[in-house]
Amino acid sequence: MAANWKMYKTASQTVAYFERFRPLLQGPSPCDIVICPPMLSLPAAVSAASGSNIAIGGQNMYWEKEGAYTGEISGEMLYAEGASWVLVGHSERRRLFCENDSDVLKKAQAAIEANLSPIICMGERLDEHKAGKAYDVLIRQFASGVAGLTEEQFAKTSIAYEPIWAIGTGQTATPDIASEAHQIIRSEVEKRFGSDAAAAVRIIYGGSVKPDNIAGLMAEPDIDGVLVGGASLDPVSFAKIVQAA
Ligand code: PGA
């Protein structure tokens, strides 16, 4: 169950969030919980999460370890600050910051090299969805991104299916639509990495996940978790989503 805070929450807002969020998690969690705050709030999140089973992730990284790359942060830097996960290829990164599938692959490889677990995001635009091209897009994104990983690298990777038309729009994919897309991705995994990898990989859904639609999504066997934007910003609402796991 992963939270993508996007460009929300300062370090002090992050501390306040954890003070509220941690007591809401009852007992040992049966699932992994990952919160991805903005880079500047990441160290505050790491210390506020210490002693809990909440892991912290970056929202993005660059594939070089260090160098003259103004404004960028490496996987090694994220890891040094206590992150253990990182989102790669979020649709906002692809659309607003011109990331393509080959960048996504390089970032995922560099993340693994830096001891981070990448969550590779993929998903189709509204026009592609309407034109019935969603599966073609997923297959293409898989072939030119994820498929370039080795089997060993893939074992450390999760995939997030995030249809762009569902992100921040309030228009969630129905459990059926999401589940079918997950099956397409899982069958690509099976073709490239084998049936054990297809059974083991976690494919999570993102796009307007809320406390009132989480149960239907999690009831689908092919949906292994969720990546939550807007509804993760409120600790009560994200705790409800986590409990649904
Ligand atoms: P949303 O965002 O939950 O606000 O739709 C999801 C995401 O972009 O990861």
Q: Dump pLDDT digits (tens) for 134-152.
A: 999 999 999 999 999 999 9
pLDDT of residue 30: 81
User: Per residue in 103-129, pLDDT tens?
Assistant: 999 999 999 999 999 999 999 999 999
Mean pLDDT of the chain: 96
Beta bridge partners of 159: 120, 203
Residues assigned a catalytic role: 90, 162
pLDDT of residue 171: 86
Alpha helices in 55-172 (DSSP H): 75-80, 91-96, 101-113, 126-130, 134-144, 151-154
Percent of the chain with pLDDT over 90: 94
Alpha-carbon span 142 to 129, nearest angstrom: 17
In three-state secondary structure terms, 208 is coil
201: CA distance to ligand 1 center in Å?
A: 21
Alpha-carbon span 228 to 243, nearest angstrom: 14
Burial label, 41 (beta-carbon count in 10 A; 0-12, 13-18, 19+): buried
User: Per residue in 200-210, pLDDT tens?
Assistant: 999 999 999 99
Q: Is 227 touching ligand 1 by the criterion CB < 6 Å?
A: yes
pLDDT of residue 172: 86
In three-state secondary structure terms, 210 is coil
Q: Which CATH architecture has domain 2-243?
A: Alpha-Beta Barrel (3.20)
pLDDT of residue 27: 75
Q: pTM of the prediction?
A: 0.97
Percent of the chain with pLDDT over 70: 100
User: Per residue in 21-77, pLDDT tens?
Assistant: 999 997 777 899 999 999 999 999 999 999 999 999 999 999 999 999 999 999 999
Report the nearest atom of ligand 1 relative to the CA of 210.
Answer: 3
Report the nearest atom of ligand 1 relative to the CA of 91.
Answer: 8
Residues in the chain: 245
